[in-house]
Chains A and B, each alone.
Chain A
Amino acid sequence: MNAITEYFGNITQSLKTISIGMGVTFKHLFTPAVTIQYPTVKMKLPERSRNRLYVNMDDCIGCDQCSKACPVNCIEIEIIKSTPEDDLGITSSGQKKKLHVPVFNIDIAKCCYCGLCVYPCPTECIYMTNVYEFSEFDRNNLIYNFAKMTPAEIETAQIKVKKMDEETAAKKVAAALVAAQAKAALDATTQTSTPQQPTEPQ
């Protein structure tokens, strides 16, 4: 008897659960879809969303802090010293710029959007924008070059700094020479009184 009640119980239960399930799917058939038709309709991004990086080169002082902070080493920075007569201008926060930045590449393909490069920047010139549609057919196109210096400018800056370096080196040599001569003269005057030679203890 027990088996028979179980048998019919199972059948009624399955009929019941199937109709419940069908009720659920039928209800959902008429609920509005949650799909967003992406390229035509876009989702609103959260306020602090982190997407493609941008560097405002006018404010960059070439301190290399962002590059050091990056966990995947995707920022490549090269710098050239400026000579004292160069005026590189000041950043928007009033800091004097002292270094040329001829190379500032970010390999956005490697970037993991962690945002770690953003915080150490002293002038807040590297930051994340809300652009997220930048796929490319060639991976090399994802290496973004932010530096603004033309090759000619780079060359002049290099020549200048070389000249300056040479001058300082020459000055140093001259200074060293002068110092040596002075020392020699001093030595000559003190040579007359022979210093006591330490005698070896017996």
Chain B
Amino acid sequence: MIDWILTQFPDSILGYIIICAVPLLFILPYALVTIYLEMKMSAHMQDRVAYMRTGWHGTLQPFADILKLLQKEDIIPTAADKFLFILAPYIVFIGTYATFAVLPFTSSYIGSDLDLGLFYLVAVSSLVVVGILMSGWASNNKWSLFGALRSAAQIVSYEIPTALVLLSIVMIAGTMNMQQLSQLQSGGISDWYIFGGPFPIVKKLLLLPLMFILFLVQLTASMAEVNRTPFDIPEAESELVQGYNTEYSGMKFAIFYLAEYANLFAVSAITVVAFFGGWGSPFGSFMSGGVWDLFWFVLKGMFFVSINIWLRWTLPRLRVDQLMYVSWKVLTPFALVCMILIGYILVAF
């Protein structure tokens, strides 16, 4: 598909710009749907109904929200560091957007078919930390700075379990290429790594419990990486006003918002590729190929997005020390032990 776009635009710069813009075609409608989904789910969990007036059951509300944000006054505090202040939201968004380059949406589309796909993913998603720290520092506001520092501490510590989990997957699959990773699991539901992967039955059964633990670790860590409740201490409204984005308004706030939702999908997509077969249909070759691939990928992604939303509206926020406890004393050791056991199983069987 990438090649096809490039041949359409022989002037290669234009072609590459268009390729870069393709994930936006997904992110924008996805963000609208997810904002709506989140509001509706949270409301119904509390026996409310959320938006009802804008359009049928409030379906137009996300558009209204965006419109409102677009025409809001863009305030930059006088004492803020203007350059960094303006730059920060874009860095956060770039860090998130860059991960979409290696997400295999279908068997025929992937932004960049990197051999180091997973490695690139882990690396580039850390860029978000830079943007968040930048926004907190540039705001010249103590709450923003606290939020930014907490966020940095949180993302850095939760990257370790994530990296260990992904490393285990790499050990099993023998590749870091996201497309090949999905290809390996494309033989239907029993080939997914969460169910032990495409291996002989004994090896599969041995791997299965370990994969399940790794999946839980990945789910928890990914939730922490997107700064959402129960891991939303960087934004803790009750303590920090709104954390690193307190001083932002208008378009810049909207970009933070968009980045958060895009990141939510990105981490869900990583879980999907690592454990749930990427774009692979659960029925093997039935209902697979072409648009079906996209359908399965988005469906699985949205499933984990919903789980994230569900957890967010179920659990209260952790304390800072509890957060660190979970990362360093629970997730990291578990991931490490699982990784070692997986290595043993792979060598022995």
Contacts and interface: CB of A to CB of B under 8 A. Distances in A.
Interface of A: 7, 11, 18, 21-22, 24-26, 28-35, 37
A34 B47 CA distance: 6
Contacts of A18: 311, 314-315
B44 interface: yes
Sort chain B's interface into a size bin.
10 to 19
A28 B48 contact: no
A166 B41 CA distance: 80
A21 B47 contact: no
A34 B314 contact: no
Interface string B308-341: 0011011100000000000001100000000000
Q: Which 5 A-B pairs have the closest CB atoms?
A: A25-B314, A33-B49, A35-B49, A25-B45, A21-B314
A33 B311 contact: no
Contacts of A28: 44-47
Contacts of B313: 25
B304 to A, nearest CB: 14
A11 B315 CA distance: 16
A22 B330 CA distance: 21
Given A18-B315, A31-B47, 10 more contacts: A18-B311, A18-B314, A21-B315, A25-B45, A25-B313, A28-B44, A29-B41, A29-B44, A35-B47, A35-B49
Interface string B35-50: 0000001011111110
Contacts of A37: 49, 52
A34 B48 contact: yes
Contacts of B47: 28, 31-35
A17 B46 CA distance: 19
B45 A29 contact: yes
A26 to B, nearest CB: 7
Interface in B149-187: none
